[in-house]
Amino acid sequence: MEKITYDGMCNFIIENELTDSVAITLHPDNFDALVMDYLDINGNQIERPFEILGIEIMQDNTGSVSKSKINLLNVV
């Protein structure tokens, strides 16, 4: 995904039929951009944990997720 946006993330979750058995980890730059897009759409309100369509979105702090890539993490 070239640019990770709220709409793009919603489409990714729906197209891949993701369930709450996974979480998404993003490169810190992509995570920050997604959060800002989410805040713009939702009137500067964000829930903790940060979820889109019931899927938790997390920032990768290990350096293993490349920029503009989506990493799925099993949480079960």
Interaxial angle between packed helices 6-15 and 28-41, expressed in degrees from 0 to 180 and rounded to the nearest 10: 100
pLDDT of residue 22: 96
What is the model's pLDDT at position 54? 93
The ranges assigned to domains in the chain are 6-74
Q: What is the pTM of this model?
A: 0.87
The more confident residue out of 72 and 46 is 72
The pLDDT assigned to 10 comes to: 95
Report the pLDDT value the prediction gives residue 5, as an integer from 0 to 100. 93
pLDDT tens string 4-58:
999 999 999 999 999 999 999 999 999 999 999 999 888 877 888 899 999 999 9
Q: Are 33 and 40 in contact (CB under 8 A)?
A: no
Question: If you write DSSP's letter for every residue of 38-70 in order, what string do you get?
Answer: HHHHTTT---SS-EETTEEEEE--SS-SPTT-E
